[in-house]
Amino acid sequence: MTELTLEEAEAYVFGVCFKTGLPERIGVETEWLVQDRHNPGLLISVDRLDAALAPVEVTGALPGGSRLTREPGGQLELSSPPALSLGACVEMMAADLAVLRTALEQADLALVGRGLDPYREPPRVLDHPRYRAMESFFDREGPWGRDMMRRTASVQINLDSGEDSRGVGGYRSRWELAHRIGPVLVAAFANSPIQDGWPTGWLSSRQDVWSRMDAGRTRPPRYHCDPRVAWTRYALDAQVMCVPGDPDGDWSAPSGLTFRAWLRGVPELRPPTLADLDYHLSTLFPPVRPRGWLELRMTDAQNGDDWVVPTVLAATLLNDTVAADAAYAATEPLCPDSQRPRKAAGRQPRPAGTQVLRRQP
């Protein structure tokens, strides 16, 4: 494939990550821990999970059309197709979850909605070179990357970027509001206080894990300047996690290499291509990730049907103009760098994963 220049990479990221238009579509991704129904501390073998999922994976029996995938530690994820209404989104995911739950129950397994596995430290069960390189990358800084890959689960809400305007329905305003409400969603739906059977001191131990990982790909970019500019800089300045190649080979990237530096040339490495840039973008995990739409990634997985609540809340706050204005007003004292005119400046909001989520002694 043709090698990519820095100017081409900047133009590509600038253009594809914020697709503009009337904010209409809604999607949700629900991640789940899989536990034995009688012994939640038991590790679930790949063979047992394969057998339980066979009726769903072989027949494609998900009526709402969600995509079923597996995470590195054996977690399951259902990703709904985009819907044109909140009600349709919830109905599709609920129907698909009902089918998946039934299949697992017949194998004495259960879907559990927790931000972090409270009992187990599962092995990595996916051996794709992407996950080998990812694990190697995160191991340079400690165990947090392994914990994220193998033990965490979330609810991710997907909403259109918005129109190319300066109003409440514009992508600039929606990007800022998504970041403003992010810490609220973390705190309101935190449900992972236990790790290895003991209280961690955090209501969201999942958020604690994320806060300790590579800041250049997990912390929010600057959200009070133009989102396209901010995200392009963030993406190109993030370290390269893996260099795709031979399916059976080693995809590990040189330590400390940013995508911008790769574009400028690395003697021992082939030049990057557009496919490499797409892959790199898929390895960035900030609380709000632009993928042509906004993917809100900060909420702990929720038990039962409780995933509906953060989905409805986030969609309403961003898509209903009255609710959006109210959310702006409520967070205004904490956001001095707002793109909107404001009456008074105040403190920066504390980012997700800080002391605000800790239990008091």
The secondary structure of 182-209 as a DSSP string is HHHHHHHT--B-EETTEE-SBSBHHHHH
Whole-angstrom distance between the N-terminal and C-terminal Cα of the chain? 57
Question: Residue 263 falls within a domain, yes or no?
Answer: no
At 224 the pLDDT is: 64
Provide the token pair at 197. Answer: 């059977």
Q: Rounded CA gap, 160 and 170, in Å? A: 10
Give the residue ranges of DSSP H helices in 33-128. Answer: 46-59, 86-105
At 344 the pLDDT is: 31
Q: What is the DSSP letter of 110?
A: E
SS3 239: strand
How many domains is the chain built from? 1
* CB-neighbour burial class of residue 27 (10 A; exposed 0-12, middle 13-18, buried 19+): buried
Q: Rounded CA gap, 58 and 56, in Å? A: 6
Provide the token pair at 44. Answer: 């679930």
pLDDT category at 361 given cuts 50, 70, 90 is very low
Provide mean pLDDT across the span 13-24. 92
In Å, how far are 58, 159, 167, 168, 295 from 317, measured between CA atoms?
38, 11, 15, 11, 14
CB atoms within 10 A of CB 268: 5
Q: Rounded CA gap, 134 and 237, in Å? A: 17
**Domain span including residue 153:** 21-224+286-325
Percent of the chain, pLDDT > 90? 84
Rg (CA), the chain: 20
pLDDT category at 341 given cuts 50, 70, 90 is very low
Asked whether the predicted pLDDT for residue 347 surpasses 50, the reply is: no
8 Å CB contact between 155 and 31: yes
pLDDT category at 1 given cuts 50, 70, 90 is low
Question: Residue 345 falls within a domain, yes or no?
Answer: no
Question: Residue 4 falls within a domain, yes or no?
Answer: no
Say which CATH number the domain at 37 has: 3.30.590.20
CB atoms within 10 A of CB 154: 27
Question: Residue 338 falls within a domain, yes or no?
Answer: no
Residues 6+ apart with CB under 8 A from 197: 41, 118, 119
At 248 the pLDDT is: 85
pLDDT category at 338 given cuts 50, 70, 90 is low
Contacts 24+ apart (CB under 8 A), 123-129: 123/43, 123/73, 123/150, 124/72, 124/73, 124/149, 124/150, 125/46, 125/70, 125/72, 125/73, 125/74, 126/70, 126/71, 126/72, 129/242, 129/244, 129/245, 129/246, 129/247, 129/248, 129/249, 129/250, 129/251
Provide mean pLDDT across the span 347-360. 39
Lowest model confidence (mean pLDDT) among 34-38, 50-54, 202-206, 348-352: 348-352
Question: Residue 44 falls within a domain, yes or no?
Answer: yes
**Phi-psi region for residue 353, left (φ > 0), alpha (ψ -120 to 50) or beta?**
left
8 Å CB contact between 221 and 294: no
Q: Rounded CA gap, 144 and 223, in Å? A: 25
Question: Residue 320 falls within a domain, yes or no?
Answer: yes
Question: Residue 302 falls within a domain, yes or no?
Answer: yes
pLDDT in tens, 39-68: 999 999 999 999 999 999 877 789 999 999
SS3 251: coil
Question: Residue 237 falls within a domain, yes or no?
Answer: no
8 Å CB contact between 48 and 107: yes
Asked whether the predicted pLDDT for residue 340 surpasses 60, the reply is: no
pLDDT in tens, 130-162: 999 999 999 999 999 999 999 999 999 999 999
- Whole-number mean pLDDT of the chain? 91
At 259 the pLDDT is: 98
